[in-house]
A and B are shown apart, each in its own frame.
Chain A
Amino acid sequence: MSSTIAVDGQSPGADSSRLTEPLESAVIRFCGDSGDGMQVVGGQMTNASAAFGNDISTFPDFPAEIRAPAGTLAGVSAFQLHFSSHDIYTPGDELDALVVMNPAALKTNLNDLKQGGILIVNEDEFDSSNLNKAGYAPGYNPLRDEALLSRYDVHLVPMTRLTRDAVEGLGLSPKEAARCKNFFALGLAYYLYDRDMSTTKEWIRQRYKKNVAYVEANIRALEGGYNYGYSTEKFLKRFQIPRAQLAPGKYRKITGNEATAWGLVAAAHRAGKRLFYSGYPITPASDILHQLSEMKRFGVRTFQAEDEIAAMTATCGAAFAGEIAVTGSSGPGIVLKGEAINLGVMTELPMVIVDVQRGGPSTGLPTKTEQADLLLAMFGRNSDSPVPIVAAASPSDCFAMAQEAVRIAVQFMTPCFLLTDGYIANGSEPWRIPRLHDLPPIVIKHPQGRTVGTNGSNGQTDNGTPPPFLPYQRDERLVRPWAIPGTPGLEHRIGGIEKRDGTGNIDYSPANHQHMTETRHKKIANIADTIPPQEVVGPKSGELLVISWGGTYGAVLAAVQQCLAAGKSVAHAHLRYLNPFPKNLGDIIRNYQKVLIPELNTGQLRLLIRSAFLVDAQGFNKVQGKPFLIREVVARIHQILEAH
């Protein structure tokens, strides 16, 4: 089949001149133009590494423009993969290997490659036109810059030409042939890190099953890259990263958005209900809508609304009708939903609002991550409007927290926020596949219908007819009943106007509004009785407590662990429940002399922690559309510990 030597992804053990160096972990990044298929090959290497049994963490980074002009800096797309034989929490601070497909990608990514790191470059694309588009000075070619190249282990490979050669004879146009070069690059990476090509070959066969020539071409390109590494003398070393010692179980790779979608369906299933999900297309939340639209046979109803407002309002309607009602968006959409979230607050109906946060304000940085919607979730509505908030810590944690959000919503008859972010939504990691019956059950009790005679429930309780149904009669946790349309005898009206407790009838009286406002707050505060106590990594008391929330979990945990290993008196508390806070959080905070709160915003959790516990918490705030690097957090911890 292939015109070159066939190597079925097996380690060429016969070749003893080659050195295979075992490594604990490696970080590789593929970067090129957004038309170069970098996300595809990054995803493939992730799958191959996950299937092999490494722990993985990924960071796809792509431009907001669907097709920025080819070859420009704005059009660069990158995919970073960290794969390891031990537990890892982030996609890695710096790169061990960088695969570069054009000058623009080199310019924007080279800084992240460590000294002495492997740099693989498709030299065919470094012509004067592309160099110009990347903004290099006329006459300058970085590939001829000895001073620059001497810092790295550089491999210049004519990938475009070699790919064309590999696919020759298949009847592809030169353009089509060149398009396969991403798989050539992937093949080379597979050689370098001793990966098995079979999962990728199978993927190619499925992906292009309607076009035999494409299947053959991409497989030849993949093998071509692999064989190039094998047969040329350029790569004297290759690397092996053994399997990770993960907890026993069956695993798969999962992204945050997948985990959110599946978690919502699982929660509906555990509640014995159907899921209704409405959304309006928005980056980076749309994938949840896509996932759920594919899940019709699970009874999932999706509604792509005319706008964010309608998506939220329809969610209120579906909640009233008795569904597990969920909407999802990102910051710019959440702003528009505020009006109807408040309708949910006032009518005390259960629903979940997923906010996949991105850089802002306004349209901001659509494809870049940030965690700056915490205060929006907390306060972004008119008047006193308490809404519980939970946040996922990692891609796979979205599965658990989606279920928690549903649990809180239905158990407390309230809208509930689930915060994730672009980083964990698109990032992936191994996920231990759960058994369905091990997932927490969600118990829902709707009040039973009752037969009434005609003229029965008009409030006239004479001649033995039952008293009218009270839609705002609360239980000991202050939760009202969820009576759904279609239930005989429980006809009632709800709405956004202030209402009397018990009857739910319109009531504007001063004392009633005070009572209802306080009741709404107390009800949300009562949720704290049902959430797990906050846990701490590290000593139970000491010099510094680092508090984090959301997608910064991995970087902050890894940073604290490094500092602990270096003998520092530091501990880590990662919050998944942000409103209300876990009940023991105040006691924990008081056990440390200092508190540091690293966040990808200008200090939103810090504001809440300071006001809740009157503690002089310090911040570490990064707003660059990028996640924390471990070393950045480590440096800040050292700085605080050294300051007196």
Chain B
Amino acid sequence: MTETLKNTGFEEMTLNMGPQHPSTHGVLHLLLKMDGEVITEARPDIGYLHRGMEKLAEKRTWGANIALSDRWDYIASMSNNFAAVLGPEKLMNIAVPKRAEYIRIIMAELNRIASHLIFFGTYGIDIGAFTPFFYAFREREMILDLYESVCGARLTYNYFRIGGVSADLPEEFVPGVKAFIKYFRPKLKEYDTLLSTNPIFMDRTVGVGAISKEEAVDWALSGPNIRASGISFDIRKEDPYSVYSEFDFNIPTGKNGDCWDRYMVRMNEMSESARIIEQALEKLEPGDIMAKVAKVIRPPAGEIYTHVEAPKGELGVYCISDGSTMPYRYKVRGPSFVNLAILQKMLRGLKIADVVAVLGSIDIVLGEVDR
């Protein structure tokens, strides 16, 4: 801010962005201090969607907590389910049947595609391209139809159970997934034409909001955000849970960590997920879908931290059991919450027009930020 401006009364302006702004992906409130068009300070203000999930969890049985976990990141509920079941399963030493493991992985990876499709669609809108949104949601709808045929819900699946999954796949599911993958592959190329290589889109995203490797580690980013900065960190490879170690897949990484890299990492991840699904479908064999578990679940006293690679990053659950039917403490490490923190650093010095581009590129879901 120059002295002249200060003297003439043009001082820093505080701008409230949100919580009802269409591009804040929910109810995020950004407090921006601006010097003309340039942002000098940005502070995300969260909590508008706070439901006290962690406290609620302490008064719910372990099984009911899976139903609650659907509501953390409501566009990737299968991954939440995954995180919610791993902890008690490890505490109780339950060996999940092979078929259930593969079903879980198919579900989680389909959910990754669905979540990234939402990102692709809404990011297009944020930047100003409306068309991708329709195509992304058309494809996502197919995934939701598949989910509906399996578990009877389109958003809050509540499909995983401690020891397996709640229902076996219906007959039409496997051909349905195969048809979807076949249909989906060429669509990715179409998306590239529509958005990824569009020069207008690239002008607005390449070089904007770059995160260096060190910064990404310092701010504990995870998921596509850290991979875009060139660090190949993926829990499916680093600390394989379930049967992920059996699958052959690559981890797409970016170079500069700018908005375009973050976008591209997600686009590439979709085809990798499709590869995992294809492999899992091949390995799928008839068998049990539930391990033998007692009706009333009482994990032995102890504490455990389990994490999964959710579409947004590392989703971890730290739970303490006191041997009763309900968890003593249930801490959720939401990737969106952690990834959101770097916004205050990234936005400083950018123009107001780039706020939406940067915010969209870190792909947050407010249900998980506030919990």
A binds B: no
